Amino acid sequence: MKITCENGHSFEKSSNCKVCPTCSANEHKDHEFLQHFSTPAQRALVQAGITSIENLKSAPFNDLIKLHGIGRTTIIKFKELLNQ
């Protein structure tokens, strides 16, 4: 039986678990990315829609550093992550 999750991924429902595998993988990835930052920085990033390294790469750096909650430590971390 095919199921489509609220984010539009379709997947085969094999067990009683109705968690979308694509969504749960993405959530895990987002969680890992955000763990690099302090709580205020995490909040600012989520609000700005930046929850992955891909988002960070495509965001204008000068706008990122102006976000409320983004301090010097976070900016250093951004640079580390972007240089990886």
Stretches 22-30, 53-61, 65-73, 76-84: which one binds Zn ion (CB under 5 A)? 22-30
Q: Residue 18 contacts by C-beta under 8 Å, 6 or more apart in sequence?
A: 3
Stretch that binds Zn ion, among 13-21, 45-53, 55-63, 70-78 (CB under 5 A): 13-21
Task: For residue 27, give every residue at least 6 positions away whose Cβ sits within 8 Å of its Cβ, in sequence order, or none.
Answer: none
Cβ distance to Zn ion smaller for residue 18 or 66: 18
CA distance 51 to 29: 9
Instruction: Rule CB under 5 A: choose which of 2, 3, 4, 7 binds Zn ion.
Output: 7
Q: Which helix (H) or strand (E) holds 2?
A: strand 2-4
Q: Where on the chain is the footprint of Zn ion (CB under 5 A)?
A: 5, 7, 9, 20, 22-23
